[in-house]
Chains A and B, each alone.
Chain A
Amino acid sequence: MVKIMIVDDNMDIVETLKTIMEMEGHVTEIAYNGEEFLKKVGTVNPDLVLLDVMMPGLKTKEILVKLKEKRLNDLRIIIISVVRFSEEEKKVLMDEYKIKDYITKPFDVPDLVSRVRNALT
Chain B
Amino acid sequence: MKEGYEIVAVNYWKSVNNEIKRIMLDFWNTLLLIHDSLDFAEIVGFLNKMPTPGKILYVSLTKSNDSMKPHLKNLKSKIFVIDCVSSMIFEKKGTQDCQFEPTPSSLNEMMELIEKYIKIVEPDLVVIDSFSQFIDFSKVSNPKGKELYGFLDHLKNKYARTHYRFILLYDNILSRELVNLPFTSVDVILKYEILTGRIDGKDRI
Contact = CB atoms under 8 A, between A and B. Distances in A.
B89 A88 contact: no
A86 B173 contact: no
Contact of A83 (B40, B64, B102, B105): B64
A106 B173 contact: yes
B26 interface: no
Contacts of A69: none
Given A56-B105, A60-B88, A60-B89, A89 B174 contact: no
Contact of A84 (B40, B87, B88): B40
Contacts of B133: 54, 82
B64 A86 contact: yes
A27 interface: no
A53 B64 contact: no
Interface of B: 38, 40, 61-64, 66-67, 69, 85-90, 102-103, 105, 133, 173-174
Given A83-B85, A85-B66, 11 more contacts: A54-B61, A56-B105, A60-B88, A61-B88, A61-B90, A82-B38, A83-B64, A84-B63, A86-B64, A89-B64, A92-B90
